[in-house]
Structure 1
Amino acid sequence: MKNSSQTKRIHAPRLAPQYIETIQPPLYRASTIIFENTQKVFDRHWTDRYDYSYGTHGTPTTYTLADKIAQLENGNYCLLAPSGLSAINLVNSAFLQSGDEVWVPDNIYGPGMAHLNYLKQSFGVIVRVYDPLNHHSFQPTAQTKLLWLEAAGSVTLEFPDLVNLVKKAKQHQITTVLDNTWGAGLAFNAFDFSDEHLSVDISVHALTKYPSGGGDILMGSVVTQEHKLHLKLLHMHATQGISVSGDDCAQIQRSLAHIELRYQQQSRSTQDLLHWLKQQSEFQQVLHPSNPLSAGHEFWLEVCQDQQSAGLVSVIFQEKYTLEDIRRFCDALQLFKLGFSWGGPVSLVMLYDLKGMRSLEHPHLANGFLVRFCIGLESSQDLITDIQNALQTL
């Protein structure tokens, strides 16, 4: 059949061979996926491990990254979402219905709590708050369907009593889900973190942080070991039309090769900074799981056998310093940039007022304004000098 030049531009008469071996796998961009014949259309099913039917379901690029994230976290199945928060919301949507109860730690990631409050107001989901340092404060009922865990907790970085909390949840047959962004699949194994081989049911990860490593990609993941749980999440994933960019997946794929090297480097730099911060009189408290004076230190030792940690450390200033003082300090920093997120090459800083951020009493925390440092890949000594110079503004 003789085609017009316009048609030939769309249906190329000659196509280079498509399969060569390269260090990075080929990048597939697709909404429509072409079926070889009608039999292929009818043979597929949405539960297939690799359902090549439409771009939202997956391409070789997205499935390759999902498999690598599952491997990183020691899971069997992985679903990708456009952000860490989207991954959190996927879990809530899949497992919570009207009248169901969900328990969350008092130091939960703020936007995650905002979504649960929306489910509470709009659909009657019951939201309970527990103290992550005291497993007795977690009191499940017959309505409890989900237990959220964060290790370490948001902003104040308490490491939870992971062992006893998961034990109690399993006794009551409650699904456990861990925000594992801090551990990144490297600090500890979420699916085998104790001598008794305890495991969470679901691990959520903001790939925006360490897997991306560049501060330029938004993505999240949900990893499971059990096929039944995966299918429940997969059905909601498809129903909500959740999908990710092939280009973004390819970028994260490249960064995964050196994620452990970056994590170890930032962990070492954080230890250098931690040692120096503890000697500065301007701070009442220096919060980090490896600090023996920080709440949850014993639980961190119990779970993180290699004593690794993400590059986050928070300080609480002496009460004599006002908000204006702390703002002046943050504005004076040169290497630390004001911004949210972490895990990238550039160090970040953010200030918080804990009043209004917690619903339970927190006697382990001093009164005063909190500043969180997110350690990048700069020289630790340069970062110390930057903070030292900024402290002069006080």
Structure 2
Amino acid sequence: MSKNKDWLASAGSNTKLCHSGYEPTDYFGFVNPPVVHASTVLFPSARAMETRSQPYTYGTRGTPTTDALCRAIDELEGSAGTILVPSGLAAITVPFLAFLSAGDHALIVDSVYSPCRHFCNTMLTRLGVEVEYYDPEIGDGIETLIRSNTRLVHTEAPGSNTMEMQDIRTISAIAHRHGCVVTMDNTWATPLYFKPLDHGVDISIHAATKYPSGHSDILLGTVSANAEHWERLKEANITLGICGAPDDSYQILRGLRTMGLRLDHHYRSALAVARWLEARKDVARVLHPALESFPGHEIWKRDFKGASGVFSFLLPASSPDKIRPKAHAFLDALQLFGLGWSWGGYESLAVQVNLDDRTIRKGPVDAAVIRLQIGLEDVEDIMADLERGFAAASVV
């Protein structure tokens, strides 16, 4: 029999991370839930099978392992229910398919995760949904873009790569007045630093691949809904036949236990590096919401409890044809930083950002946008490695 956990609702974030989805009394006292591998689930009788009068009926509809993770995410999000999907991109596409139909109009923030834009411009458009991109800093101006057939407003804050902040509460309130569903990709902040549902969002999306995993070895997405939208999201997920694997769910649940401690380190280290970069003459601008100089800083300060380890900076070039060579020289000189996509793991990563798909917030013509993931290494070593990059870029 499970213990009563009413006390967990008022507990601190690290306590919730340690104890959410944690029911050792259900598993003979073992601290972590077992990994249940299942497709077929047997019923005691034909009547039980007909009425489905037992907690588990088939592997795609959940197991004790996946349910443990969903309970933990719901505790963090304050959501009515959570689904697990195989990737962060799937965490975006499933709710889009759940709430959009042919003839609908969707508003998508222009600073969106690039693969999301590709999905919108290809599959979503092919299915008859009209997609329109909007400026991330539009605020209450979003109302001028909403039409009679607008059904969904997708947000992301900060924006991918260029870190624009959005006034999520204002956008959500306006969207709801017009009957729109509001979705948000909150991967950067995690529920520890921003709770989308508390700010009016209906569907909170995360790439658990990132900070919940923390070790660059798991692909998983979570989608959490408020009570009004939970049943439709769940039905769409079942209809599409998409589910999270038990081994991956176990690993994410395990990663959650230390996510608060890791995020705090990422936050402090990244902000220290950002301030160091901001003081350099060979950096044109640092794109980090926690910096007082950043245009969206006041929104970040008002709504967010912290910042993660990802931000960007502009590496200036003397002419447009020098942007790529200068960026490549910088990146190739790095030794501690890995050159790779994704982020949220323990290791530092760097990549040159391509903003060619933007329609509104386009990239600079006089600088390379370099995105950094500041890992768990010592800050002094991180800065020393960046110095190598700047030295190499200076001769291009």
TM, length-normalised to structure 1: 0.88
User: Which residue pairs with 2:180 in the alignment?
Assistant: 174
| Residue from 154, 160, 167 that aligns with 2:166 | 160
Q: Distance in 2 between matches of 1:362 and 1:167?
A: 28
Q: Distance in 1 between matches of 2:63 and 2:323?
A: 53
Q: CA deviation at 1:135?
A: 2.0
Provide closer, same or farther for how the CA distance between residues 43 and 206 of structure 1 changes in structure 2, counting only shifts above 3 A. Answer: same
What is the SS of the residue equivalent to 2:313?
strand
Q: In the TM superposition, what whole-angstrom CA distance separates every residue of 1:24-69 from its partner, at most 9, and x where no partner exists?
A: 1111010111112223212227xxxx85111111110011111111
| Higher helix proportion | 2
What is the SS of the residue equivalent to 1:392?
helix
User: Which residue pairs with 2:62 in the alignment?
Assistant: 58
1:258 aligns with 2:258: yes
1:110-121 correspondence to structure 2 within 5 Å = 110-121=114-125
Q: In the TM superposition, what whole-angstrom CA distance separates every residue of 1:354-379 from its partner, at most 9, and x where no partner exists?
A: 3x23201569x674110000111111
Provide closer, same or farther for how the CA distance between residues 257 and 289 of structure 1 changes in structure 2, counting only shifts above 3 A. Answer: same
Q: CA deviation at 1:115?
A: 0.7
What is the SS of the residue equivalent to 1:147?
strand
Q: Distance in 1 between matches of 2:38 and 2:233?
A: 23
Instruction: Write the letter of the residue equivalent to 2:283.
Output: F
1:1-394 correspondence to structure 2 within 5 Å = 19-44=27-52, 51-138=55-142, 139-192=145-198, 198-226=199-227, 228-304=228-304, 306=305, 308-320=306-318, 321-354=322-355, 356-361=356-361, 367-394=366-393
Q: Distance in 2 between matches of 1:169 and 1:92?
A: 16
What is the SS of the residue equivalent to 1:283?
coil
Larger mean Cα displacement after TM superposition, 372-381 or 161-170 = 161-170
Q: Distance in 2 between matches of 1:390 and 1:152?
A: 26
Instruction: Write the letter of the residue equivalent to 1:43.
Output: T
Q: Distance in 2 between matches of 1:188 and 1:97?
A: 30
CA contact (8 A) 2:210 2:216 kept: yes
CA contact (8 A) 1:161 1:296 kept: no
Q: CA deviation at 1:136?
A: 4.4
Provide closer, same or farther for how the CA distance between residues 309 and 19 of structure 1 changes in structure 2, counting only shifts above 3 A. Answer: closer
CA contact (8 A) 1:211 1:259 kept: yes
Provide closer, same or farther for how the CA distance between residues 132 and 93 of structure 1 changes in structure 2, counting only shifts above 3 A. Answer: same
What is the SS of the residue equivalent to 2:196?
coil
Q: Distance in 1 between matches of 2:80 and 2:124?
A: 32
Larger mean Cα displacement after TM superposition, 365-374 or 123-132 = 365-374
User: Which residue pairs with 2:4 in the alignment?
Assistant: none
CA contact (8 A) 2:60 2:242 kept: yes
Q: CA deviation at 1:241?
A: 0.8
Instruction: Write the letter of the residue equivalent to 2:47.
Output: Q
Q: Distance in 2 between matches of 1:182 and 1:19?
A: 34
Q: In the TM superposition, what whole-angstrom CA distance separates every residue of 1:92-134 from its partner, at most 9, and x where no partner exists?
A: 1111111101101110111011111123441221111111112
TM, length-normalised to structure 2: 0.88
Q: Distance in 1 between matches of 2:211 and 2:382?
A: 20
CA contact (8 A) 1:313 1:373 kept: yes
CA contact (8 A) 2:283 2:314 kept: yes
Total equivalences in the alignment: 363
Q: Distance in 2 between matches of 1:379 and 1:231?
A: 45
Q: Distance in 2 between matches of 1:247 and 1:360?
A: 41
Q: Distance in 2 between matches of 1:147 and 1:322?
A: 34
CA contact (8 A) 2:208 2:219 kept: yes
Q: Identity across aligned pairs (percent)?
A: 35
Q: CA deviation at 1:87?
A: 1.2
Q: Distance in 2 between matches of 1:127 and 1:293?
A: 33
Structure 2: give runs of 5+ residues left out of the alignment: 1-25
Q: CA deviation at 1:208?
A: 0.3
Q: Distance in 2 between matches of 1:312 and 1:378?
A: 14
CA contact (8 A) 2:323 2:366 kept: no
What is the SS of the residue equivalent to 2:183?
strand
Instruction: Write the letter of the residue equivalent to 1:24.
Output: N
